[in-house]
Structure 1
Amino acid sequence: MKKFLIALLFAPVLAFAAGGNVHLDKWPGSVSDKAALQNGAKLFVNYCQNCHGASYMRYKNLMDLGLTEAQVKENLMLAGDKIGDLMMVAARSDEQKKWFGATPPDLTIIARARGEAGNAGAGADWLYTYLRTFYKDDKRPTGWNNVAFEAVGMPHVLWELQGTQVLNHETHKLELAVPGKLSPAEYDKAVSDLVGFMVWMGEPQQEFRRTLGIFVLAFLALLFVVAYALKKEYWKDIH
């Protein structure tokens, strides 16, 4: 029963992340780059939070990215929200279900949910690939399709930045038909920042945990040396 309830909890997230057996491009970002995470947070609020919430994250947690409370309030919060509020979705779930056929999942732990099945970095790689492989498809209700997630129900919310891609059915490669506001390299960097923010949201303390782990291992190594020296000194006269 417990496993069934857990499956129900994560079903929407896994459905969003399902994408078939496709080649995943390596995410080039890092959660230690605070400037990139700040830009990713800005992109998330401006482009993702209209439909997707991050309901396990509070706005005040964004101050851990090196932002002041004033910067969070001025640039990353919706009108009427308070600094201690959860980052809830702006649209109502019943409206979303009507528009898209299903309620878009919460994105707080989407990177972790995708990466749990074996490869810890797979979640970031999948998101990085997914957000860069939308292409125009007039057969789809939204007018968009995706290489990483065939028959996706989500429209390409970043099309204004990337431009319009089309799928060449002969080469099976994407081609940029209409340029966007950003160059391909700039768009890839923006997506990398956005993915980095979602990776960070899944585990905000991961950098601290890694640093603490290094110090613990260093302490244990030093303790081993001291303990071994004491052992040698204690047993030196015993044959």
Structure 2
Amino acid sequence: MKKLIQFLILSAAMALGVAGPAHAAGGGLAWDKAPIRTNDLASLQHGAKLFVNYCLNCHSAAFMRYNRLADIGLSDAQIKDYLLFTSDRVGDTMKAAIDPKQAKEWFGANPPDLTLIARSRSSHGGTGADYLYTFLRTFYPDPTKPTGWNNLAFPNVGMPHALWELQGLREPVFDTVVSHGSEVQVFRGWNQVTPGTMSPIEYDQAVGDLVNYLHWMAEPYQNQRVRVGVWVMLFLGLFTFIAWRLNAAFWKNVH
């Protein structure tokens, strides 16, 4: 248990695009609301596919086994045919394909484990899922950075834009405004430089599915927990009513 706690603390501290504060030029960047739908199996399955194909190359999910994807409607055969690497088995944990030594050389640190990343941060009036949803949609090319990329939600991020082919290349547009006697740059919007394989709406939906999966992966039992909680509250309500009536019947002849 001690090692698990140490690992989670280390993962949160090393998060290359998740554990840092959100800032835009001249001020904080508001987080967009993530479309969390953990009962939408199609969204979760699409998010799992994106995670395996784009995230699992560098990031592990050491506390999630492939066969747990059966909880989102995938059979062992589907997991094996569409989501497993050649050497993996259905019962294995989700391990990154990258060599840890190479990752440290390329990025300066090993990319963090993503099993619980959607629950690692809540701030700016939003959740960890909101941050991830914003973060994955605010990359832009920056030739001054080692990876060639920067991010509005996490300036000087140490990871590249893994989904850039889907989104295409975009540049942030800023307005110069005067605040307290000095000029500051305020983010206004995006300029699409080159298109991606997805339209902006399709890309936002894809990122929403990916974040939806990350949110589910952080607590696969959350839907069951909510259902059990509803039944517990109904039971307590019924029991309270019965106890109230029994108490009234017991004391009705006592003066």
Where does the alignment leave 5 or more consecutive residues of structure 2 unmatched? 23-27, 176-185
Query: Which secondary structure state, in structure 2, belongs to the residue aligned with residue 60 of structure 1?
Result: helix
Describe how 1:24-173 pairs up with structure 2 within 5 A: 24-115=31-122, 122-170=127-175, 172=187, 173=189
Query: Which secondary structure state, in structure 2, belongs to the residue aligned with residue 141 of structure 1?
Result: coil
Per-residue deviation, 1:15: 6.8
- Alpha-carbon separation, structure 2, partners of 1:118 and 1:154: 23
Q: What stretches of structure 1 move > 6 A for 4+ residues in a row?
A: none
Comparing 77-86 with 164-173, greater Cα deviation is found at 164-173
AA in 2 matched with 1:36: S
Per-residue deviation, 1:10: 3.5
Could you tell me whether the CA contact under 8 Å between 2:17 and 2:157 is conserved in 1? no
- Alpha-carbon separation, structure 1, partners of 2:254 and 2:114: 64
Higher helix share: 1
- Alpha-carbon separation, structure 2, partners of 1:217 and 1:145: 47
Could you tell me whether the CA contact under 8 Å between 2:16 and 2:159 is conserved in 1? no
- Alpha-carbon separation, structure 1, partners of 2:9 and 2:15: 10
Quick check: 1:236 aligned with 2:238? no
Percent of aligned positions that are identical: 49
Aligned in 2, Cα 1:15/1:194: closer, same or farther, shift over 3 Å? closer
AA in 2 matched with 1:10: A
Instruction: Give TM-score scaled by structure 1 length.
Output: 0.92
Could you tell me whether the CA contact under 8 Å between 1:134 and 1:145 is conserved in 2? yes
AA in 2 matched with 1:92: D
Aligned in 2, Cα 1:181/1:147: closer, same or farther, shift over 3 Å? same
Where does the alignment leave 5 or more consecutive residues of structure 1 unmatched? none
How many aligned residue pairs are there? 235
Per-residue deviation, 1:118: 9.5
Comparing 135-144 with 77-86, greater Cα deviation is found at 135-144
Could you tell me whether the CA contact under 8 Å between 2:64 and 2:217 is conserved in 1? yes
- Alpha-carbon separation, structure 2, partners of 1:23 and 1:124: 13
Could you tell me whether the CA contact under 8 Å between 2:107 and 2:158 is conserved in 1? yes
Aligned to 1:222: 238
Instruction: Give TM-score scaled by structure 2 length.
Output: 0.86
Per-residue deviation, 1:93: 0.6
Per-residue deviation, 1:7: 3.9
Query: Which secondary structure state, in structure 2, belongs to the residue aligned with residue 175 of structure 1?
Result: strand
Higher strand share: 2
Query: Which secondary structure state, in structure 1, belongs to the residue aligned with residue 87 of structure 2?
Result: coil
Aligned to 1:190: 206
Aligned in 2, Cα 1:17/1:174: closer, same or farther, shift over 3 Å? farther
